[in-house]
């Protein structure tokens, strides 16, 4: 069964494996407000579908997800803080919906992931990545911060690692991601499908209700719940920074393909 959307593909196989595919390869699967809305709706529908036993999140094309779409960023740069808050909250709700998905979730990472793309990966419970994949939190280069995805990144790789890569905006490879806990398995790119098939086979042997119970238990055991208060805080934080002088300068410099003003002081 295949469901049609403008920017994603959703398929449910007879064995209960649902696949949500980011389908904007022309922009390296960067997300905009439409993709965010479509993904959130699809995740809610799949979560409520009793025939679905697990979810695979993957992408078309060379890279997994480049983060925010440039055209969308250009619109956001002109928003006031209230409009920014509404926009950021939609992304925050998407991350929360994926993180709280009660059935097993597998991210299949075939290429590079940046910013919010890494957030999607961190929200998944099992991550298989190509050995050539690379990851980066580049927000501070634009005078922004990865606020909305931060709770999930910190859960995945720890606060110390998150702080270092948030501050430096350095790119790290798949082996580093594996060592930090962002990924659980890395394979050659041409072996991704085989690794996914093996993981799915393992999960299909398990009791569906017991796997849901494991996820519920893991969420209960987390010391700092990702609750509505924290979700709202992250959305408000990025909305405020986007309309700040530095945030505006960073976004405009990026869109205008020039160095931001603070580069002049180096």
What the block records as the tokens of 236 is 């408000």
Span 163-222, pLDDT tens digits: 999 999 999 999 999 999 999 999 999 999 999 999 999 999 998 999 999 998 888 777
Structure tokens at 48: 């409520």
Q: What is the pLDDT of residues 20-79, one digit of tens each?
A: 999 999 999 999 999 999 999 999 999 999 999 999 999 999 999 999 898 888 888 788
Cα–Cα distance, 138 to 136 (Å, whole number): 6
Residue 236 within any structural domain of the chain: no
> Quick one: tokens of 176?
């580093």
CATH code: domain of residue 43: 3.90.226.10
Cα distance between residue 14 and residue 162, in whole Å: 39
Q: Output the pLDDT for position 231.
A: 87
Classify residue 30: in a domain, yes or no.
yes
pTM as predicted: 0.91
Mapped onto helix, strand or coil, the DSSP state of residue 130 is strand
Please report which confidence band the pLDDT of residue 84 belongs to, taking 50, 70 and 90 as the band edges.
confident
Structural domain range at position 147: 2-211
Give the chain's length. Answer: 266
**Looking at the domain assignment, is residue 237 inside a domain?**
no
pLDDT tens digits, 123-139: 999 999 999 999 999 99
Sign of the dihedral defined by the CA atoms of residues 245, 246, 247, 248, in that order: positive
Q: What is the pLDDT of residue 224?
A: 60
Q: Is residue 230 part of a domain?
A: no
pLDDT in tens, 244-265: 998 888 888 888 999 988 876 5
Q: Is residue 11 part of a domain?
A: yes
pLDDT score for 24: 96
Residue 183 inside a domain? The answer is yes
According to the model, what pLDDT value does residue 70 have? 85
Q: Is residue 114 part of a domain?
A: yes
Closest residue by Cα to residue 80 from 239, 251, 237, 252: 239
Report, as an integer, the average pLDDT of 114-127: 98
Site of tokens 């050659």:
188
Number of separate domains in the chain: 1
Helices (H) and strands (E) in the chain, counts: 11, 10
Any domain includes 261: no
């Amino acid at each position: 069964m295949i469901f049609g959307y403008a920017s994603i593909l959703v398929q449910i196989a007879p064995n209960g494996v649902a696949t949500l595919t980011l389908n904007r390869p022309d922009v390296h699967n960067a997300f905009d407000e439409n993709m965010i809305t479509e993904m959130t709706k699809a995740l809610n529908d799949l979560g409520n579908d009793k025939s679905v036993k697990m979810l695979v999140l993957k992408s078309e094309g060379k890279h997994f997800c480049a983060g925010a779409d440039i055209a969308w960023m250009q619109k956001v740069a002109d928003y006031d803080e209230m409009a920014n808050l509404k926009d950021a909250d939609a992304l925050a709700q998407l991350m929360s919906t994926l993180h709280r998905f009660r059935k097993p979730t597998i991210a299949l990472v075939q290429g590079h992931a940046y910013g919010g793309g890494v957030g999607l990966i961190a929200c998944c419970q099992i991550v298989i990545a190509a050995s050539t994949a690379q990851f980066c939190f580049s927000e501070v280069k634009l005078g922004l911060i990865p606020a909305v995805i931060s709770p999930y990144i910190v859960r995945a790789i720890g606060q110390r690692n998150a702080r270092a890569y948030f501050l430096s905006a350095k790119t790290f490879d798949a082996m580093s991601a594996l060592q930090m806990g962002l990924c659980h398995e890395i394979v050659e790119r041409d072996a991704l499908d085989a690794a996914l098939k093996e993981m799915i086979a393992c999960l299909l042997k398990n009791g569906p209700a017991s796997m849901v119970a494991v996820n519920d238990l893991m969420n209960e055991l987390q010391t700092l719940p990702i609750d509505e208060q924290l979700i709202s805080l992250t959305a408000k934080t990025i909305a405020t920074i986007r309309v700040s002088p530095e945030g505006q300068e960073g976004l405009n410099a990026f869109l205008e393909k020039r160095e931001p003003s603070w580069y002049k002081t180096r």
